[in-house]
Chain A
């Protein structure tokens, strides 16, 4: 939720938001990474987090990103968040 509060309110890529707190690599190495790094831990699936947030009406499932050729289709899933809720989350940060 915290990461999503700093993105647009529509079509927020679930795996992008989930990967930001998970990826911790050397800043020099980051310049050489050619594609996005996506955190996809089976014991903590981002889809499960979305299910919980939907249950609390905090997010809604949005239209998937147009597919690319490098990532799994599951990584194209997105959510929508109310912009007022985003502001509340940012204020609480």
Chain B
């Protein structure tokens, strides 16, 4: 099941990266079946949990938030606390993704999202020492989630301070195509949020 999860995740990931949506959805359906069998057999491994995390991103886009939450929590629980590079990167990404899933679901969830981003930020800063481009994308993703939370829950404790340090990190990292795309997306969302609504 571990090897099968690895293969299915790779086929799904490449389809998502290339923007071949129908292929990605076909592979996501297979990933759901693999995930269900792993759950039924109570199996957990690096690649099964990694599959869960990547599948969660697609389910979130389909507004299947409860399933996405469950899978990201399982992925974080599996990898958190380990110090190998793969586990730290996956934990960081999963914390950001779960924060994005939780961001619109109420104050308690928003507080949890901030705590997740507090966990992800130091890791993104550490990654900057090894690979500035990858860290730039992670920092931009954290900043994007924080600006979204600030619009909805600006009064939350820790939010302002964390946003300031993450913004500072994003300014010190190189601009890449991906980090630039995230920034443009933030600016478009800001403009939409400020624009007066038509009657």
Contact = CB atoms under 8 A, between A and B. Distances in A.
12 contacts: A6-B4, A7-B30, A8-B29, A8-B30, A16-B8, A20-B3, A27-B46, A33-B10, A35-B10, A36-B10, A68-B15, A90-B37
A3 B30 CA distance: 12
Interface of B: 1, 3-4, 6-8, 10-11, 14-15, 18, 20, 22-23, 26-27, 29-30, 32-34, 37, 46-47, 86
Q: 9 nearest interchain CB pairs?
A: A36-B10, A31-B86, A66-B23, A7-B30, A66-B22, A8-B33, A8-B30, A8-B29, A36-B11
If over half of A's interface residues share one DSSP class (helix, strand or loop), that class is named, otherwise mixed; here it is loop
Interface of A: 3, 6-8, 11-13, 16, 19-20, 23, 27-28, 30-31, 33, 35-37, 65-70, 90
B7 A36 contact: yes
Contacts of A66: 20, 22-23, 26
Given A7-B33, A19-B7, A31-B86, A68 B46 contact: no
Contacts of B3: 20, 23
Contacts of A3: 4
Nearest to A36: B10
